Structure 1
């Protein structure tokens, strides 16, 4: 018997998206690679296996637990730690991540010490701040730290990178990419060191490549949302040629009643400390689903059936206006999935993950 709520994923559509990426990067006018980001699916074993089978050679994640899982599935595959390493975890970082993103001297020193003790060389990509105000050094700080990096005998400084749109919403542009390439040139000129990887960002940078506006020299992108959900993240648009419906969320109906659209009685706060507002449309048919805010951000859910509307919910109930639909107890309602829904559903132990 099926377990609900559940997140369905289409292996066929995911393979199509992977092959689209492989073709796109192979056909680029200059050498550029992509890394599959698995954090939104928590390095789900079957999804990781599908990526590996389609020839993806490097997977990236923000969590060491996920990188451990990836390494157990593909010991020879390359792994990239996306979140800056914490000092408490450097011993595990050099064991499970072939490469990590870094921005602080104290962290690089700790990684070097851990790598030396483990008898390995650890690759790092130095992050550069280009305006989004998340991680990274300002461009004029890179050379000073670069001197220190090149003195570390167990560290391979393989690249520089940047992150855009994730915090400040700053869009990747050709000008931003040229700024990153200028940093690469200054490293070569002043330090005599050639970084092979210039990582130009995430799925928000993909449109530059699709429009042939990515400058030559950007050699790497880190792609998660575009791969899994078919969307670029700068403006949230579906990319032609990619499937946007690899994932679908389903939940079961546990009550159907005709009720007022406005609560009756003296009102206070809801279970989450908010005072919600209600539209008075009279009596209507309301369905309750066995899923709630503990499982997914229910306000982000969009029913596949356009005649159904999400009204809200609590920690373990979601309430729908089903209109004239003949909904009954035990029915299953399907929802489209965006990035916040995918991320939380994959993290929740109460949501089943099922290959369609």
Structure 2
């Protein structure tokens, strides 16, 4: 079928007509006198009859044979003009009253940043017109009863924030499969679908979750317990001074020690138990770590897709927007935790151009970058560069 329809009579969305490779008119909504000359050949009685059935069932029923005949009559000029109208968000002239037409309150001036987004106004019976943005290839994207499996609706025009912050979608040639499925020990991204492969990092740490790998650098004796002094020396090796390292010890161990303890009694030494480190997950973060300490590629990619326009780096301004966008209500621990983590990340990377690269941030999530930075600093000291 060359065009398709989403039947949603019991939802807040009106029945949606989405253009395909051959853009079409909404045959049921337009009066025969308002169509192109070729379309005026449509029988008015058949149109009225379909309207009556639509009112009774709340669904659009299109005669497939009539639709096919109509497509054959459309000239290239008419098709191009209709496609242009759809692309510009021009409503179908269905002869409805003013109360059903788009008002000035409709955010129609929102920019459409994706050339793959198909746009179409529609109206069925007394239902309110709705504006739909659909990301798909230019082909039939809906069936008569439900969206096709290869269609993802990620933005709707009446809610501008869904256009401003579009979630990541892997391309057809991407090696990153099932991005929404959390990886237990691989910090997988579109560029690194198998995580960190340098020196077989992911395989050598396959007994640890990605969050546990993040803490591995600070557990120098590999006993699964991180003492405050371990954190201090770890930050110092990463280039933080004495004062900043002490601040890091206070922030981390004062807030995150108790949830990891194997008992209900507080630990007077404020130690962190790596086996329970997943209990330290807080709100208002990116969601890259799940509640079991796994790595969620979708959430990581969303950082750059939503807040950095798909770039392979983020700036402090991008991070600021992300922290605002990810804030949960009444979550001071989460707000403070996110601020501290990204501030520490920026200070550790200290990019000369202000750009924190995607691969470096990924290396911080799985902890592999900590060893590289510490080794580089140790080498510089050995040669007298520091």
Please indicate the TM-score interval, normalised by the length of the shorter structure. under 0.3
Higher strand residue share: 1
Which structure would you say has the larger Rg?
2
TM-score of the superposition, structure 1-length normalised? 0.23
Higher helix residue share: 2
Higher relative contact order (CA 8 A, sep 6+): 1
TM-score of the superposition, structure 2-length normalised? 0.21
